[in-house]
Structure 1
Amino acid sequence: MSASAVPAEDPGRQPEPGLRADAERNRDRILAAARRLYATEGLGVSMASVAREAGVGKATLARRFATREALVTAVFSDRMDAYAAAVTEALADPDPWHGFAGYLRAVCAMQAADRGFADVLTMTFPAAKALEARRTEAYDGFVELIDRAKATGRLRDDFTPEDLVILLMANAGVVAATGDDAPDTWRRLVGHMLRSYAAPDAPVPPLADAPAPTALYRAMIRLSRVR
């Protein structure tokens, strides 16, 4: 059987009764390796690199996760749950503008904590049905949150759901560029963006401190070397 014919793994499914203990250990090793690599290097990591990091062969990886989408789904299913839960929490805030601002900060913090998840939030995986279902759930909740915040007069009328995508793309870039040398830079970006989204009378949080010039310079040098 070819690797492409192996059925995709359901990350929420319990191990089969007959699953050998070593096979289950291999699966756990693969997931742990993928989490480490994705968190530090992003989703550009190859399946071969994941296999090497896990200490298993490519065939073993393919038996457990036939496609990149299946592996990404298994690695990030809990984070997508947290992403969707953040919208629910924001909608429960009695102050929709406060909930809106808190949601943006929470999601951008998730990106800053895991570069792989930063990529997940700016990409689509049509074959990963469970992952995309959670993304859709979060999106629908965010649309409702936008409407509520606008109704208070504190969120600009011209803000759209697409502006969140733009913010997440921008934040992913900032996290990738400054995460090693100035890891809190994303906070200042989010502060500036919240000020741009706010209506004239809306309360806005104070800006985080700007990164030190030397730290930002190191980040620029590192980025130029990567490119």
Structure 2
Amino acid sequence: MTDDVERTAEPAVDPDVADTDADADASAVEAVEADAAPSADRRWPILCAVLALLLIAAAVGCFYLAQDRSDLKDRVGAESAATEEAERIVVAWLTYDYRTYADDMAWVKTSSTEKFQDEYSPEALEGLREKMVGPQELVSRGRVVNSAATVKDTEHVRVLVFTDQTLTDKDIRAGGTDPLHARSGVELAMVQVDGKWLVDEMVQLQFQ
């Protein structure tokens, strides 16, 4: 009896062709991997170089930040020290007694530069005593009301000191009247010499 059902013939596969296709696929994969490997190898040095540059930039940034903080600290220290010394000098300048005037002005030799000492020499101070302080028998007391400083650098600071001066002379004391009060502003140019702050220039501004 004849079989009416048609059977579909399965295509024959040539073993040689199959092997060839497999080899081709393997070769393609190897080629892709070979292409990818050099690309990955090239990226690593670039990434390492970028990372190194970032680390260097961070280190440089930290260095400059630390330097800025150090400079700021030095400037703040200079401002504080110069202002403190300027206030002390102004009080000494405005506090004197006609009987001890020479001793009261002794700070000029120890707290000022040669330039300042040339202007306020012992001879100049003695002239003030003979012409005004002595004959009027002046007694003065000074105090600091406020102060402000401008820092040029760690060795040069300008300080403006606001003061209140109480002044009496022989007539005021004899008459029992109130002392005179004078408010003024004194600007000092302070310089640091051998670690010590000295006054280099002083200008007195009178206020009412």
Q: TM-score, normalised by structure 2?
A: 0.24
Bigger fraction of residues in strand: 2
Bigger fraction of residues in helix: 1
